[in-house]
Amino acid sequence: MGHVFDFHEAVAYEKWTKQPENQLAFQMEIQLLRDMLQPRPGESILDIGCGTGACLTAFLDMGLKVTGIDPSTYMLDIALSNAGNRVDLYRGFAEDLPFDDNSFNHACLFTSLEFVDDAKKALEEACRVAKDRLFIGVLNRYAIKGVERRVRGMFTPSIYNHARFFSVWQLKYMLYDLVGHVPISWRTVCQLPLPSGKFAHSFEQPFLQRCPFGAFAGMVVILIPRVRTRPLTVRYQPTHTPTTDAVPGVTVTQAP
């Protein structure tokens, strides 16, 4: 089941997202998502672990049809207040999505894979319900900021105590095992762990996004849709039934 945010954690998270330096980092992360996923207006997307709805409103601004799912009712309440009735919201878990195969053009796991119980199962479900592309955004295990978060959690209570951090290589291995060697690309942003993001924002350049040590790693998987098939039984209806006279070697005997 993973970690489900309670009321206090949901409120604290929403407050944290409103801080100016975190807003700037989020804008960089969303721009990375837009550049990599390249969604077209009118397409559908599922935000898995939508939290308080920061990505939901960003997807709406892109002109997408948006659905969000999260296991925390407190997170969903805040998401509803942020996005209103412009999105469809569901309560559920990433490892067991209540949607049919290929239900959405795209699926997104944006800093939510860290908090699931079975990351591989969550990725499998995301690949199942999306038919075009999957975007995965994670807190990079090998970033300086990622190491700082893990060390801090060793000494003080933190939400990151419940998180599992991933690297781009771990994600690629899991995905290749699930869906084969489909096209996968990755980039990172937030290269510098500075308290003020202004210089970090100007420092970011496309070629630096190939560095595997940025604080936020984004990955896009181009999916090959899988279709379930079952045998179709067709009832045979002959158009012409031959008489025995037409069958060689058959003699018709009349009954007395």
Model confidence band, residue 25 (pLDDT cutoffs 50, 70, 90): confident
Any idea where the domains of the chain sit in the sequence? 7-246
Instruction: State the pairing for strand pair 88-91/104-110.
Output: unpaired
Which among 33, 25, 23, 54 is positioned nearest to 203, based on CA atoms? 25
Alpha helices per DSSP H over 84-211: 119-129, 144-155, 168-179, 197-203
Please give the average per-residue pLDDT across 160-176, as a whole number.
Answer: 90
Please give the average per-residue pLDDT across 22-30, as a whole number.
Answer: 90
**What is the fold of 7-246?**
Rossmann fold (3.40.50)
3 half-sphere exposure, CB direction, 13 A CA radius: 18
For 110-124, the pLDDT digits (tens) are: 999 999 999 999 999
Cβ atoms of 160 and 153 closer than 8 Å: yes
Specify the residue for token string 């290269």. 191
Specify the residue for token string 């499998």. 124
Residue 195 has pLDDT above 50, yes or no: no
CA distances from 126 to 21, 48, 135, 161, 165 (A): 30, 8, 9, 25, 19
Q: What is the pTM of this model?
A: 0.81
Please give the average per-residue pLDDT across 216-240, as a whole number.
Answer: 71
For 47-97, the pLDDT digits (tens) are: 999 999 999 999 999 999 999 999 999 999 999 999 989 999 999 999 999
Residue 144 has pLDDT above 80, yes or no: no
Q: Give the pLDDT score at 189.
A: 87
Distance in angstroms (rounded) separating the CA atoms of residues 201 and 152: 25
Please give the average per-residue pLDDT across 206-235, as a whole number.
Answer: 73
